[in-house]
Amino acid sequence: MIPFAYSRADTTADAVRAVSADPDAAFIAGGTNLVDHMRLEIATPRTLVDVSRLPLGDVIDTADGGVAIGASVRNSDLAEHPAVRSRYPALSTALLSGASGQLRNLATTGGNLLQRTRCPYFHDPTTPCNKREPGTGCSALGGYARDAAIFAATPDCVATHPSDMAVALALYGGVVQVLGAAGDREIPLNEFYANEDPSHDTVLAHGELITGVRLPPPTGAPSTYRKVRDRESYAFALVSVAASLRVDGGHVADVRIACGGVAHKPWRAARAEEALRGAPASAASYEAAADAELAAADPLPGNEFKRRLLRGTLTAVLSELSEEQ
């Protein structure tokens, strides 16, 4: 592990100042991802600024009927929060399907959004990886690509984003609240992740701190999250689907879909949503909608199965939601 200095920030402004001023500094909150990366020398910050005790630990009802989630809220606490369980159930389910109880007790909302890909080549400093060392190449191309993206991958990087929580936040239209040296700004989750340059997972500038996530009021449509993985717990999603669906008179009145494990970000299935609006609420419609979305898929040798898996998972989730109505 590279030697590093450690300090604890007393205010968000102090934290932002400290990291912005030092290109080798990084924020640390729960540390469940960063500490692993430091041990493996994937991340080599020389200074850590601890933001876990900043006053960002609350879930607050907002005036518009939504919630504001502080960046330091632990995944366990967020999953159990009454407002989340009753109004954003897919978020609670998504959180509880991630990691282990011990990790969820440490991991924070902000840190969860910023966790990095689990691509095995990214995790091995002895193999080329554009995300870890720009310009060295992508080892997953022509290699082990079971976990790789099927949507919007680039020739430089085919990594997927591993978060369950982010998929549910994307479903509910989450907005990331950020504080930087130049002030604060809000970024819709759908625009938060980037892959033009594989070394930059998000649109955040160095020193910008996530202070929270705002969720608009729920639409009232039933929603759920389904994670499909290689074992029953403690594994990253091969494919996951967060969806909300309202059926009226046997037809789809309102639908939203976000998918995990298929892209560098939570993948809003806009084509599938479009195909479903007004369609009969039937398995045939759901399969057709999945196919509409999958028309844009571009899998690699080794992850073609994600096409069939996403189709099956999406159909199962939407069928389950419609059966309840």
Partner 1 sequence: MSTPRIDGELKVRGLAPFAYEQRTERPLYLFPVLSRIAAGRVAALDTAAAEAAPGVFAVLTHANAPKLASTDNLELAVLQSADIGFRGQIIGAVLAETPEEARYAAGLVGHSYDESAHDARFRVDHPDAYTPEGVNGGQQADVSKGDVDAALASARTAVDHVYTTPIEHNNPMEPHTAVAQWDGRTLTLFDSTQGVHPARSVLAPLFGLEPDRMHVISPYVGGGFGSKGTPHAGEALTALAAFAADGRPVKYALTRQQMFPLAGYREPTHQHIRLAADPGGRLTAVSVDVTEPTSKIKEFAEQAGVPARTMYAAPNIRSTHRLVPLDVPVASWFRAPGECPGMFGLETAMDDLAAAAGIDPIELRRRNDTDVDPMSGKPFSARHLVECLDTGAERFGWERRRPEPGSRREGDWLIGLGVASSTYPFVRIPGSVARVRYRADGRYEVGIGAAELGTGTWTSLTQIAAEALGCPKESVMLAIGDTDEPNATIAGGSSGTASWGGAIIAAADEFREKFGERPEPDDEVRAESPTVTDAENFSLHSFGAQFAEVRVNSRTGEVRVDRLLGVFSVGRVINARTARSQFIGGMTMGLGMALHEESVMDPRFGHVVNHDLAGYHVPACADVHDIDAIWLDERDEHAGKLGARGIGEIGITGTAAAIANAAYNATGVRVRDLPLTLDKFLR
Which residues of the chain form contacts with partner 1 (CB under 8 A)?
1-3, 39, 41, 118, 120-121, 123-124, 126-127, 139, 142-144, 146, 228, 230-236, 238, 305, 308-309, 312-313, 315-316
Residue 310 CB, shortest distance to partner 1, in Å, is 10
Residue 203 CB, shortest distance to partner 1, in Å, is 27
Rounded Cα distance between 77 and 57, Å, is 10
Residue 84 CB, shortest distance to partner 1, in Å, is 23
| DSSP-derived secondary structure for 261-308 | SSSSS-EE-HHHHHHHTTSBSSHHHHHHHHHHHHTT----TT-THHHH
CA distances from 105 to 25, 261, 311 (A): 25, 23, 33
Judged by beta carbon, residue 121 or residue 172, the one nearer partner 1 is: 121
DSSP structure class, residue 2: -
Residue 125 CB, shortest distance to partner 1, in Å, is 9
Cβ atoms of residues 307 and 150 within 8 Å = yes
Amino acid at site 83 = A
On the 0-12 / 13-18 / 19+ scale of CB atoms within 10 A, 163 is: buried
Judged by beta carbon, residue 12 or residue 127, the one nearer partner 1 is: 127
Judged by beta carbon, residue 87 or residue 307, the one nearer partner 1 is: 307
| DSSP-derived secondary structure for 145-182 | -TT--SSS-BTTB------SHHHHHHHTT-EEEEEETT
Judged by beta carbon, residue 121 or residue 267, the one nearer partner 1 is: 121
Judged by beta carbon, residue 17 or residue 118, the one nearer partner 1 is: 118
Judged by beta carbon, residue 188 or residue 234, the one nearer partner 1 is: 234
- Side by side, the strands of the sheet bearing 175-180 are 59-61, 67-70, 209-215, 175-180, 183-188
Residue 105 CB, shortest distance to partner 1, in Å, is 17
Cβ atoms of residues 248 and 277 within 8 Å = no
Rounded Cα distance between 57 and 206, Å, is 23
Residue 240 CB, shortest distance to partner 1, in Å, is 11
Judged by beta carbon, residue 2 or residue 284, the one nearer partner 1 is: 2
Residue 34 CB, shortest distance to partner 1, in Å, is 15
